[in-house]
A and B are shown apart, each in its own frame.
Chain A
Amino acid sequence: IAGITQAPTSQILAAGRRMTLRCTQDMRHNAMYWYRQDLGLGLRLIHYSNTAGTTGKGEVPDGYSVSRANTDDFPLTLASAVPSQTSVYFCASSGGQGPDTQYFGPGTRLTVL
């Protein structure tokens, strides 16, 4: 592994289903982030974690949850998917305690029908 990986690459999901997007980094970065990107809008922060064991809410946290059991992994869970959660999801990490340079994974394209 080099950098950040995300899985799956893409997914089509029925509304109401539970889904976990996976994110793993091998850079030993303290901080990790989940964003969604929609056409015509900038990236919007869903949740973040500044270090293992802690998480915080971003701009658009409703309908999403995260956990940070260790430094490397930061999964994002949609408990009951809705069509408005159709988006491209990017995971990112940064090396300091704050959001300095962020490194992104390749993204997950999620479609909720």
Chain B
Amino acid sequence: RKEVEQDPGPFNVPEGATVAFNCTYSNSASQSFFWYRQDCRKEPKLLMSVYSSGNEDGRFTAQLNRASQYISLLIRDSKLSDSATYLCVVNRGNYQLIWGAGTKLIIKP
């Protein structure tokens, strides 16, 4: 089993809809959590950190559930420009960031 697992998708979603995806992690000692966005053939870029209390940045909401060992990302009022691959990242300490393989999101007009 991979240490960080994501549904690869693709999630095909109409513009304006709400979409959510989860990421599970297996190491209970993981210390911090992030969502990165990666456009096709480009470098990953930080979307948001994930805090225990949950956090929101505009249309994006991230949640952490330590008991069940998953993090989630919710995108409201999706835009065509949200089409990308979303990477779940877990920091297990000692300079080790563990990356999920990503969830591909396609927003359709």
Identify the A interface with B (CB < 8 A). 31, 33, 35, 40-45, 48, 50, 56, 58-59, 90, 98-99, 101-102, 104-107
Contacts and interface: CB of A to CB of B under 8 A. Distances in A.
Contacts of A98: 91, 95
Contact of A44 (B34, B41, B45, B99): B99
Interface in B43-82: 43-46, 49
Interface residues of B, number: 21
Given A40-B101, A42-B87, A99 B95 contact: yes
Nearest to A88: B41
Nearest to B95: A48
Contacts of A40: 8, 101
B96 A58 contact: yes
Q: Specify the main secondary structure of chain A where it touches its partner.
A: loop
Given A42-B87, A42-B100, A42-B101, A90 B43 contact: yes
B97 A45 contact: yes
Contact of A104 (B2, B4, B45, B101): B45
A42 B4 contact: yes
Contact of A101 (B43, B46, B87): B46
Given A41-B101, A44-B99, A99-B97, 10 more contacts: A33-B95, A35-B99, A42-B2, A42-B101, A45-B97, A59-B96, A101-B46, A104-B43, A106-B43, A107-B42
